[in-house]
Amino acid sequence: MHEDIVRTQYVIMNILRSNKATNYMKSMTLEEIQEVEGRNKPNTLYKHIRILQEKKLVEIGAKCERANGYYLSEAGLKLLSQYDDMEEN
């Protein structure tokens, strides 16, 4: 398990999942993620998205105008379901 993800990364992953950003065409831009998250600056969120990409938990999706979209990978969905199971126990 990726125990080294931090809360902001967990929140980003949950936003992607709750908005059904789970494939290339249903991806969300950084601006859309920030609107939902509402706390961190775009640069901070981008830094965490890059870390999630390196860990293969988030992938680059379709572009929206000039902005990249991001979506939750299969590995990311699996990790979130493991965290969901931990909350239930």
CATH classification at residue 46: 1.10.10.10
Range of the domain at 78: 7-88
The pLDDT score that the predictor gives to residue 54 is: 96
pLDDT at 84: 84
Tell me, yes or no, whether 2 lies in a domain: no
| CB burial of residue 37 (10 Å; 0-12, 13-18, 19+) | middle
Q: With respect to residue 26, please indicate whether it lies within any of the assigned structural domains.
A: yes
pLDDT by residue, tens only, the chain of 89 residues: 556 899 999 999 999 999 999 999 999 999 999 999 999 999 999 999 999 999 999 999 999 999 999 999 999 999 999 888 776 55
**Distances from the Cα of 16 to the Cαs of 67, 71, 89, in angstroms?**
16, 6, 24
Query: Total domain count for the chain?
Result: 1
> Model pTM?
0.90
Any domain includes 34: yes
